[in-house]
């Protein structure tokens, strides 16, 4: 029976320079679908409590979804591992064309374990696998390594995932750069790759991806494309991508400014789609097979940074490296973000950390580096810190390279009050003081501070959730919404689809695509139920790694400091608010008051967590 699954996983052991092909069990497909689900189950089975994320025992798992490599619109790939930044579960997502190539080579995923004795890169050409010397590539940036490997293998069509110098240095927020310039950015998967002495994975596939019922699948795809075309949200993404969110966040008081002290920035429009269109964009581009075309082709055309090739500066990066640092020149922000991309370092975490350093220096907690005026608005200071962090150069560079949580702990004093993170992952660029449900989502995310595990902002600001009125400032009635959004998000991440696709494509269409592609029975509840199963499995994994309910909290800035500006001026999410939302959330999840899944919840979902050496 034809299916969009290849039913094969590639397992590569770098310690022994060996590989084997593993079958995909039917139970894995039935219970976890693909993507995040496959990755979560494999990680739980392979990683013991207390495993050092940078040791040879932590696997690096590249996963596709059952719709990856098909004509289904807006599909992506994911990387799953134990995060060196947070010490808990990490799944990080990327677009581009690397993930489909895994399917074309004949695999549903690639699992990398062990540690090479010297720098290597992996070359997969359908069934042929080589582990090649990469000592000549060590020290190169992400894009240069990509170019050199294609030159070495004499094929520009090969798809490559690589790390830069930050991954080699095991910076805990180093990223993996996919093809082309599409990053698995959050949580430090690049550092895990670097700890394995793995510079890159190059892959080329020539095999077709089959589907169970071709005619039914073509019909479902046509339906999905039509739904995308008719969606005003998707049209907005096509015109301006996430850059349009800058002015929206500013108008609603959710835009971080000066290390999240404020929620508005007077020069926000310079950083949004208007400023980017004027100074950067030359045309539109898309990830493979995606009709949304939310990205841009561009270059800095004037000023000091003239000549830099860039694409769209996504909302999160432009908010954290621009508004958060009080920098309004979009050309300078493009330069700073490009530096992070070349080093292979998460620009979101980096912008957060630099904002922390600027405020800490302003408050006399740390000194400025010699010859540098470390203050908000200083582009040169931000650039200096990017180089220092990526290269672990100087005392401050070494300190900040550990991430904002550990840096604040080492500075001590009041520094921890300035560190804006959840569970060790630097917060994204949506300040939650005016949207309490977003605060609850941050508190309970499975990988730490993240806006992609359910995004209740639009519902809260509209004042309605499933026909019921919703007060964005109240802690009441937020848990049910957040649980539902998290379950659906986790379910969609098994496919693995782009978030933007879900703005036009509803659950029943995704279910029809899944059924037609694989032959598995799926309906509108399938993704929700699978997402709930994954969420509870990952919670169990995180608890085993040392997570406690005491870490399901917001940073002090959002709890103790009222918002000083914007439409929600004067509001904060108090400790009582946090306690109320957290306990309501635990109850709805079927967890006890300490955030531990109850046996009846695990039994209902068919979860029996048995990790190695348990």
Q: Is the pLDDT of residue 461 over 60?
A: yes
Decide if 227 is inside a domain. no
Q: Among 402, 250, 406, 396, which Cα is nearest to 318's?
A: 250
Residues 276, 371, single domain; the answer is: yes
Q: Is the pLDDT of residue 613 over 80?
A: no
Per-residue burial over 393-425, b = 16 or more CB atoms within 10 Å of its CB, e = otherwise = ebebbebbbbbbbbbbeebeeebbbbbbbbbbb
> Could you give the CA distance from residue 264 to residue 480 in angstroms, rounded to a whole number?
29
Range of the domain at 104: 8-204
End-to-end CA separation in angstroms for the chain: 37
For residue range 512-546, list pLDDT tens digits in order: 999 999 999 999 999 999 999 999 999 999 999 99
Q: What is the mean pLDDT of residues 441-445?
A: 97
Q: Which of 421, 454, 469 is the last residue of a domain?
A: 421
Sheet strands (E) in 286-391: 295-299, 309-311
Decide if 570 is inside a domain. yes
Decide if 518 is inside a domain. yes
Q: What is the DSSP letter of 427?
A: P
Q: Which residues contact 370 (CB under 8 A, 6 or more apart)?
A: none
The phi and psi torsions of 567 (rounded to 5 degrees) equal: -65, -20
Peptide bond into 521 cis (omega under 30): no
Residues 447, 410, single domain; the answer is: no
Residues 416, 505, single domain; the answer is: no
For residue range 308-320, list pLDDT tens digits in order: 999 899 999 999 9
Residues 396, 451, single domain; the answer is: no
SS3 category, 211: coil
Q: Is the pLDDT of residue 609 over 80?
A: no
For residue range 540-561, list pLDDT tens digits in order: 999 999 999 999 999 999 999 9
Q: Are 65 and 494 in contact (CB under 8 A)?
A: yes
Q: Which residues contact 50 (CB under 8 A, 6 or more apart)?
A: 545, 546
Q: Is the pLDDT of residue 611 over 60?
A: no
CATH of the domain at 397: 1.10.569.10
Residues 402, 500, single domain; the answer is: no
Confidence grade of residue 610 (pLDDT, cut at 50, 70, 90): low
SS3 category, 546: coil
Token couple for 49? 């409590």
Domain count across the chain: 3
Q: Are 334 and 300 in contact (CB under 8 A)?
A: yes
Token couple for 215? 């005619």
Alpha-helical runs (H) found in 154-285: 165-168, 189-195, 214-229, 232-240, 245-251, 273-279
Decide if 1 is inside a domain. no
CATH of the domain at 67: 3.60.9.10
> Could you give the CA distance from residue 447 to residue 422 in angstroms, rounded to a whole number?
9
- Compute the mean pLDDT over every residue in the chain, rounded to the nearest whole number: 96
Q: Among 162, 106, 102, 107, which Cα is nearest to 138's?
A: 162
Residues 363, 440, single domain; the answer is: no
Residues 473, 400, single domain; the answer is: no
Is the pLDDT higher at 610 or at 286? 286
């Amino acid at each position: 029976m034809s299916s969009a699954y290849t039913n094969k996983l590639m397992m590569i052991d770098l310690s022994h320079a060996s590989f084997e092909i593993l079958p995909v069990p039917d139970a894995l497909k039935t219970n976890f679908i693909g993507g995040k689900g496959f990755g979560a189950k494999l990680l739980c089975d392979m990683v013991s409590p207390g495993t050092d994320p940078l040791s040879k025992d932590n696997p690096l798992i590249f996963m596709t979804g059952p719709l990856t490599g098909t004509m289904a619109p807006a599909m992506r790939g994911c990387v799953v591992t134990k995060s060196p930044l947070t010490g808990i579960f990490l799944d990080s997502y990327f677009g581009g064309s690397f993930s489909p190539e895994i399917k074309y080579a004949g695999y549903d995923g690639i699992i990398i374990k062990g540690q090479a004795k010297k720098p290597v890169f992996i070359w997969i050409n359908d069934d042929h696998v080589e582990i090649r010397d990469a000592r000549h590539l060590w020290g190169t940036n992400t894009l240069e390594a990509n170019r050199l490997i294609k030159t070495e293998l004499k094929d520009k069509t090969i798809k490559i995932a690589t790390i830069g110098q930050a991954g080699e240095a095991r910076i805990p927020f180093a990223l993996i750069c996919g093809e082309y310039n599409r990053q698995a950015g959050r949580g430090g998967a690049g550092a895990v790759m670097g700890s394995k002495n793995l510079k890159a994975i190059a892959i080329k596939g020539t095999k077709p991806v089959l589907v169970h019922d071709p005619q039914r699948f073509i019909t479902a795809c046509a339906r999905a494309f039509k739904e995308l075309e008719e969606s005003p949200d998707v049209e907005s993404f096509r015109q301006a991508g996430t850059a349009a969110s800058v002015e929206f966040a500013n108008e609603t008081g959710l835009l971080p400014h000066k290390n999240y002290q404020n929620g508005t920035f007077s020069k926000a429009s310079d950083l949004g789609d208007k400023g980017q269109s004027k100074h950067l964009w030359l045309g539109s581009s898309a990830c493979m097979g995606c009709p949304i075309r939310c990205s841009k082709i561009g270059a800095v055309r004037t000023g000091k940074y003239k000549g830099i090739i860039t694409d769209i500066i996504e909302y999160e990066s432009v908010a954290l490296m621009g508004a958060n640092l009080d920098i309004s020149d979009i050309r300078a922000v493009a330069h700073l973000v490009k530096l992070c991309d070349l080093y292979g370092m998460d620009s979101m975490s980096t912008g957060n950390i630099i904002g922390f350093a600027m405020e800490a220096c302003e408050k006399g907690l740390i000194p400025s580096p010699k010859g540098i005026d470390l203050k908000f608005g200083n582009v040169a200071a931000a650039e200096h810190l990017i180089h220092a962090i990526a290269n672990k150069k100087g005392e401050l560079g070494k300190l900040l390279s550990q991430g904002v949580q550990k840096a604040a702990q080492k500075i001590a004093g009041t520094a921890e009050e300035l560190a804006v993170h959840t569970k060790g992952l630097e917060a994204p660029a949506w300040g939650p003081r005016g949207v309490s449900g977003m605060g609850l989502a941050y508190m309970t995310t499975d990988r730490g501070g993240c806006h992609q595990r359910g995004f209740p902002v639009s519902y809260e600001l509209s004042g309605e959730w499933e026909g019921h009125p919703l007060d964005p400032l109240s802690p009441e009635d937020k848990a049910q919404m957040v649980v539902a959004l998290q379950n659906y998000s986790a379910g969609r991440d098994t496919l693995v689809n782009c978030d933007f696709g879900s703005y036009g494509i509803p659950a029943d269409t995704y279910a029809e695509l899944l059924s037609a592609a694989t032959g598995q029975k799926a309906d509108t509840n399938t993704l929700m139920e699978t997402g709930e199963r994954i969420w509870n499995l990952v919670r169990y994994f995180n608890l085993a790694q040392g997570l406690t309910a005491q870490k399901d909290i917001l940073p002090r800035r959002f709890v103790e400091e009222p918002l000083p500006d914007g439409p929600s001026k004067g509001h904060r999410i108090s400790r009582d608010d946090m306690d109320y939302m957290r306990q309501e959330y635990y109850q709805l999840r079927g967890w006890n008051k300490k955030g531990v899944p109850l046996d009846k919840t695990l039994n209902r979902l068919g979860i029996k967590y048995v990790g190695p050496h348990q």
